[in-house]
């Protein structure tokens, strides 16, 4: 079982890495930021955050190249 749970942890880490490399919105990072720096505000939901992050990604040159 420990073998398996270690495998799960590794896969989860690899997944997080892949998500961040391709530039997918990182909700967990956002949540932990809000928890640490603005503990009294209500964070966006996962869906709201994703929508907002995507809209901003395609507004300026600087995320895409030739």
Contact between 6 and another protein by CB under 8 A: the answer reads: no
Contact assessment for residue 63 and residue 22, using Cβ atoms and an 8 Å cutoff: no
Alpha-helix residue ranges (DSSP H) falling in 1-66: 2-21, 27-37, 46-57
Q: How far apart are the first and last CA of the chain?
A: 47
Least CB distance to another protein at residue 48 (A): 11
Contact between 18 and another protein by CB under 8 A: the answer reads: yes
Q: How many residues bind another protein (CB under 8 A)?
A: 39
Q: Which of residues 22-51 bind another protein (CB under 8 A)?
A: 22-27, 29-34, 37, 46-47, 49-51
């Amino acid at each position: 079982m420990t073998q398996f749970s270690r495998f799960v942890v590794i896969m989860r880490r690899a997944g997080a890495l892949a998500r961040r490399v391709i530039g997918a919105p990182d909700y967990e990072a956002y949540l932990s930021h809000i928890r640490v720096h603005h503990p009294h505000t209500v964070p966006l939901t996962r869906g709201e955050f994703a929508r907002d992050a995507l809209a901003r990604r395609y507004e300026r040159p600087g995320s895409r190249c030739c």
